[in-house]
Structure 1
Amino acid sequence: MDDDQFNKLFDYMRTEFGKVHERLDGMATKQQLDHVTEMVDGIAKVVEDDQDERAALTAQVSRVEDDVQALQKHLGLAQ
């Protein structure tokens, strides 16, 4: 391989490695991905807690509605 071929190959490799480095610089780090994962886990926990609370409130409202209907019947106000 003569010097001209070597220089062309070297320039090509430098250009290609530069492209690879640019792509790697734009990627998220493991620490950033871990942070995002923790955030998503936190949001999922809040949603799960909210769903549990809604289920409990729905059951409570249902019991209150049943009690109101029973009182209406007892008082003769049922429709």
Structure 2
Amino acid sequence: MSEDQFTKLFNYMEKRFNAIDKRFELTASQESLDRLTNTIDNFVKRLDDAEIEQVSRDEQFKRLLNWARKVSKKTGIPLTDL
């Protein structure tokens, strides 16, 4: 193998390995992006769950207040701040 052929082969191999390295970098970046996306999705789900629980609790509290008002009216015992 002549020196010129060796240089061409070396340059070709170097370009090829650089291309492979870039693909691995992109894969690592994609994995990082996927991990961040999953983390954000988990936070949004937790916020949605908390909001649903809060709405449910508010509705339950309203029903309890209505019941207390009815009991107060039927028993004649005034309940302040209802």
Which TM-score band (shorter chain)?
A: 0.5 to 0.7
| Aligned residue pairs, count | 53
Offset at residue 56 of structure 1 (A)? 0.6
Equivalent in the alignment of 2:68: 68
Q: Hey, what's the Cα distance between the residues in 2 that align with 1:78 and 1:34? A: 59
TM-score (norm 1): 0.61
Which AA in structure 1 matches 2:35? Answer: H
Query: Aligned pair 1:30/2:37, yes or no?
Result: no
The percentage of aligned residue pairs carrying the same residue is: 23
**Counterpart position of 2:47:** 47
Normalised to the residue count of structure 2, the TM-score between the two structures is 0.59
Partner SS state of residue 40, structure 2: helix
Which stretches of structure 1, 4 residues or longer, exceed 6 Å deviation after superposition? none
| Cα distance in 1 for residues equivalent to 2:66 and 2:77 | 14
Distance, in Å, in 1 between the alignment partners of 2:47 and 2:73 is 39
Q: AA paired with 2:53? A: E
RMSD (CA atoms): 1.7
Cα distance in 1 for residues equivalent to 2:47 and 2:77:
40
Deviations 1:4-40 (A, max 9, x none): xxxxxxxxxxxxxxxxxxxxx8xx7111111010000
**Matching residue's letter, 2:61:** V
